[in-house]
C-alpha cells in the first residue's frame, strides 16, 4: 500500500477511472444477469451461478490453499462468507421488483450505518439526516405506500444488514491478505447460496447457456471490479476511496436506464442523491477506523 501523500491531478485520474470502471463493470454484470439469467433460472439460480462461478474464478486466481489462515481467522472468514452469500441472495431477490439504482441505494445504507456507528460529532448527524431523508423518500411508508414493492424493499434492507455484517467480520480479518479472505469468503458464500439456487432451478443451472452467461456475469461482477478496486486502494487515501465508490447508486441508476429501461421518478433520483451525499460526506470526514470500514465495503458488493 502506497503512502497517502496528497495526490496531484494527473495521479488522481488513474484511481478515479479504476473505481469508475469497477462500478461500471459491476453494474453491467448485474444488468446482464437481470435480463439474461433471471428469465432462465430466477433470482435464486442467478445468485447461485454468479457467486459459485465467482468463487471458482477467485479460488483459481488466488489459490488460498497454499497458505491457509489460522483456524480463528477461518472461523471469522466463514461468518464473513455467510453474510456475503445472504447479501448477494437478498440483493438479487430485491431486483425482481425494484429498479436497480433504487435497490443499490437502499443497500448502501448498510455500509453507511457501519461508518457512522458510534459517531458523536455534530457533522456526523448531518450525514445521518441526509441518509434518513433519502431512505424516507424510497421506502413505502406513509403517503409513499405502493410506490415500491414492500417485499423488494425488505430484501434490499436485508442485503443492507448483511453488507454491514460482512464489513464488521471483514474488518476482523483485515490482517489477512485480501485475496485470501475474499476468495475463501466467496467459497463459503457459494456453499450458502448453491442449495437455494438448486432447489429453485434444479438442473437448469448446468445448461451451457446459463453457465456461459453466468461466467461472464461472474467475471464482470466480481473478478474485474475487485481487481480494479484493489488498484485504486493502492493509490488513494481510504477517505477518497469511500467518496469515489459512493457514486455506485447513481451509476447503477444510469446503467439501468440505458440497459434495462428502468426510469426513476424525480423523488427517487433525489433520494439516491441524498444517500450518495451522506456516504460521500461520511467518507470525507471519517476517522481512520471508519475510513477502513468504508474501504472494506467495496470488496465484494453485488
Residue 154: exposure state from Cβ atoms within 10 A (0-12, 13-18, ≥19): middle
pTM for this one? 0.82
- 210 lies in a domain? yes
pLDDT tens, residue by residue, 187-245? 999 999 999 999 999 999 999 999 999 999 999 988 788 778 767 766 766 666 667 77
Long-range contacts of 257-266 (CB under 8 A, 24+ apart): 259/28, 259/31, 259/32, 259/35, 260/31, 260/34, 260/35, 260/100, 262/99, 262/100, 262/101, 264/99, 264/101, 264/102, 265/147
Domain total for the chain?
Answer: 1
Residue 37: which residues within 8 A CB-CB, separation 6 or more? 45, 46, 49, 50, 210, 213, 214, 217
- 148 lies in a domain? yes
pLDDT for position 15: 77
* String of DSSP letters for 94-144: HTTTS-HHHHHHHHTHHHHHHHHTT--SHHHHHHHHHHHHHHHHHS--GGG
Q: Measured between alpha carbons, how far is residue 302 from residues 21, 60, 68, 248 in Å?
A: 15, 20, 25, 11
pLDDT for position 291: 44
DSSP state at residue 70: -
Q: Residue 265's pLDDT band (boundaries 50, 70, 90)?
A: confident
Highest mean pLDDT out of 5-9, 81-85, 136-140, 164-168: 81-85
Helical (H) or strand (E) element with 175 = none
Q: What percent of the chain lies above the pLDDT cut of 90?
A: 40
Q: Determine the Cα–Cα distance for residues 88 and 108; give it in Å rounded to an integer.
A: 13
Q: Which domain holds residue 113?
A: 12-296
Is it the case that residue 4 has pLDDT exceeding 60?
Answer: no
- 107 lies in a domain? yes
Q: Residue 5's pLDDT band (boundaries 50, 70, 90)?
A: very low
Residue 25: exposure state from Cβ atoms within 10 A (0-12, 13-18, ≥19): buried
- 241 lies in a domain? yes
Amino acid at each position: 500500500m502506497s503512502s497517502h501523500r496528497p495526490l496531484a491531478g494527473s495521479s488522481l485520474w488513474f484511481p478515479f477511472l479504476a473505481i469508475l470502471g469497477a462500478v461500471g463493470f459491476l453494474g453491467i454484470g448485474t444488468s446482464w444477469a437481470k435480463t439474461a439469467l433471471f428469465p432462465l433460472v430466477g433470482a435464486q439460480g442467478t445468485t447461485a451461478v454468479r457467486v459459485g462461478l465467482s468463487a471458482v474464478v477467485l479460488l483459481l486466481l488466488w489459490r488460498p490453499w497454499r497458505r491457509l489462515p489460522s483456524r480463528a481467522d477461518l472461523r471469522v472468514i466463514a461468518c464473513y462468507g455467510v453474510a456475503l452469500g445472504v447479501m448477494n441472495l437478498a440483493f438479487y431477490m430485491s431486483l425482481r421488483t425494484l429498479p436497480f439504482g433504487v435497490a443499490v441505494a437502499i443497500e448502501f445504507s448498510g455500509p453507511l450505518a457501519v461508518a457512522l456507528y458510534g459517531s458523536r460529532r455534530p457533522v456526523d448527524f448531518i450525514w445521518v439526516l441526509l441518509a434518513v431523508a433519502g431512505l424516507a423518500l424510497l421506502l413505502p411508508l406513509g403517503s409513499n405506500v405502493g410506490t415500491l414493492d414492500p417485499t423488494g424493499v425488505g430484501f434490499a434492507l436485508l442485503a443492507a444488514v448483511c453488507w454491514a455484517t460482512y464489513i464488521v467480520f471483514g474488518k476482523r480479518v483485515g490482517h489477512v491478505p485480501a485475496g485470501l479472505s475474499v476468495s475463501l469468503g466467496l467459497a463459503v458464500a457459494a456453499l450458502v447460496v448453491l442449495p437455494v439456487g438448486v432447489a429453485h432451478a434444479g438442473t437448469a443451472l448446468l445448461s451451457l447457456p446459463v453457465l456461459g452467461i453466468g461466467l461472464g456475469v461472474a467475471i464482470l461482477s466480481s473478478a474485474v471490479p475487485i481487481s480494479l478496486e484493489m488498484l485504486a486502494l493502492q493509490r488513494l487515501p481510504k477517505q477518497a476511496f469511500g467518496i469515489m465508490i459512493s457514486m455506485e447508486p447513481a451509476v447503477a441508476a444510469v446503467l439501468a436506464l440505458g440497459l434495462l429501461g428502468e426510469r426513476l421518478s424525480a423523488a427517487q433520483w433525489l433520494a439516491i442523491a441524498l444517500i450518495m451525499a451522506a456516504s460521500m460526506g461520511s467518507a470525507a470526514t471519517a476517522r481512520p477506523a471508519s475510513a477502513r470500514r468504508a474501504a472494506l465495503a467495496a470488496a465484494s458488493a453485488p
